[in-house]
Amino acid sequence: MTQARKRSGFTLIELILVITIIGVLAAMVVPRFVGRSEEARKARSKADIASIGTALDLYELDIGEYPTSLEDLAGREPPTGVEANQWNGPYLKKGLPKDPWGRTYVYNAQSQRGQDFDLYSLGKDGQPGNDDITNWE
């Protein structure tokens, strides 16, 4: 009589079955997360615009007018023409953020849209158009 050998490990069929199950699960889960990073970038851009907008409003309350550039918000010293006793800056303590795509936010002190100022990101494509994230919409 021969004794049957005790085997350890997995058979090829078991491995193929496990890989197939993992593939099916991945096919169901991955599409749900595709595009979420772009949504997160848009949300971050909206939050940055709100934060910069608040800093612009504080600057205007202290100085009496909006700055000519966003760099004035992050400066350690008052900009030229601003008296030291009016200055409570820097208004953006961590500096001026870049948009989630690595570009500077666009700022116009003289609004073209009936706002106090225009502040926006050019979005993913970096061109003015329909994917811009703005303070007026």
pLDDT digits (tens, 9 = 90+) for 26-73: 887 777 777 678 888 899 999 999 999 999 999 999 999 999 999 999
**125 belongs to a structural domain:** yes
28 found inside a domain: no
Identify whether 89 is part of a domain.
yes
Q: Does any domain span residue 29?
A: no
Number of structural domains (the chain) is 1
Buried b (16+ CB within 10 A) or exposed e, 9-48: eeeeeeeeeeeeeeeeeeeeeeeeeeeeeeeebbeebeeb
State the residue range of the domain holding 72.
38-134
Q: Is residue 1 part of a domain?
A: no
**How far is Cα 91 from Cα 59, in angstroms, rounded to an integer?**
7
Q: Would you state the pLDDT for residue 7?
A: 65
Q: Is residue 129 part of a domain?
A: yes
| pTM for the full predicted model | 0.74
Is 46 domain-assigned? yes
Peptide bond into 100 cis (omega under 30): no
- CATH number for 59: 3.30.700.10
Convert the pLDDT of each residue in 84-137 to its tens digit: 888 888 999 888 999 999 999 999 999 888 889 999 999 988 888 888 899 888
- Residues 1, 86: Cα–Cα separation, whole Å: 101
Task: Say what the pLDDT of residue 4 is.
Answer: 58
Q: Which two tokens stand for residue 89?
A: 């800056």
